[in-house]
Amino acid sequence: MAPDKVPMGRMFIDDEMMDAAQRILASGYWIKGPESKAFGAEWAEYCGALSGTPCSNGSVALIAALHSLDVGHGDEVIVPSHTYIASATCITLVGATPIFVEIEEEYYTIDSAAIEAAITPLTKAIIGVHLYGQPMSTDVYTVAKKHGIPVIEDSAQGHGGALNGQRIGSFGDIATFSFFPSKNMAVGGDGGAILTNREDLIQRVSTFIDHGRSDKYRNDVLGTNFRLSEIQCGIGRVQLKHLDGWVDRRNEIANRYSEAFSELTHIKTPKVREGATHAWHQYVLRVGDREAFQSHMSSMDISTGIHYPIPCHLQPVYSEHPQGKRGTLEYTEAVCDDIVSIPVMPLLTDEEVQRVIDAVIAWVP
């Protein structure tokens, strides 16, 4: 019998998660209860942030972050083009303009020199992405501080990552997370969180995601419903207990890959920033002929992915954007043309990891 195909992801469900869901259902307290308060506090403490607020997903977390910083019409927000589209569309949705910049050649995160060059009097914020779980450079925060511009850490792929002993989510003014099922930890559905490291933003964030109200029928500021359910917060609290072990396993797998592929001259393996604990949401290779590589891997019963094939500035939604043409960000475009992700999720067995290694080594372009 042929082995099952090695997947890119595999869901973790245990008895404690099931018990938490049943307990919360039976309590009748399904929204705005003790689980959301506890999850927000525990997640902030884990990341080393001042305050945490759960919300309905990582995309609305970015919108809430921008709103809390008063970003709107006429403003510009600097963002890398090599990221998931939500990092950019949140800017457009609040009425501002995304200014797309290049990524670092080795680490695929936003380039601080490109940020410096893109700053104008209209720049209201910087969104930096810890892409694939790689912590972005501290130079980003240095440049931002120099110009008095707040930084939003888009940490949707960064759960458990750190730089020089400091966790992702505790560097910028605001950090946003996604708990989508494919992320490093999940909540049993869509989910997100907003962390802040500024006292003046704590109330603004929590108020905005709950209709801008100070009590049940008093709405002091513009807001909406971006809340996360009690059941999902309870599940998130259980998953958080496993996160460090999962990140350790991801690093173990990634290290095995990097060692096994170190002599392959036709494949570029990912680098880890000095001082970083990489969260390894994705392990991304650069290959010369992606279509042929993926076909080969599929024939060996190994799943692959592409994160991401189209840079944000070349997405159809930005076809009218001044940067919306090929050649604008040459390195980003080249990366997007040949990147491919291989399985690195922590529930892979050692036998599955070896199958992935054997399949990659067997590929001859």
Angle between helices 86-93 and 58-68 (to 10 degrees): 40
Do 15-238 and 243-362 come out as alike in CATH topology? no
CA distances from 252 to 72, 125, 246, 283, 335 (A): 43, 36, 10, 12, 25
SS3 218: strand
Residues 28-87: tens digit of each pLDDT: 999 999 999 999 999 999 999 999 999 999 999 999 999 999 999 999 999 999 999 999
CA angle 255, 258, 263 (to 5 degrees): 145
Residues 187-197: tens digit of each pLDDT: 999 999 999 99
CA distances from 199 to 49, 203, 326 (A): 11, 8, 42
Could you tell me the residue ranges of all domains in the chain? 15-238, 243-362
Residues of the chain with pLDDT under 70: 1-2
Q: Tell me which CATH homologous superfamily contains domain 243-362.
A: Aspartate Aminotransferase, domain 1 (3.90.1150.10)
Residues 6+ apart with CB under 8 A from 200: none
Class of the domain covering 15-238: alpha beta
Residues 114-147: tens digit of each pLDDT: 999 999 999 999 999 999 999 999 999 999 999 9
Q: So what's the pLDDT on residue 66?
A: 98
For residue 308, say if its preceding peptide bond is cis, omega within 30 degrees of 0. Answer: yes
Q: So what's the pLDDT on residue 1?
A: 53
CA distances from 138 to 82, 109, 130, 274 (A): 19, 11, 12, 11
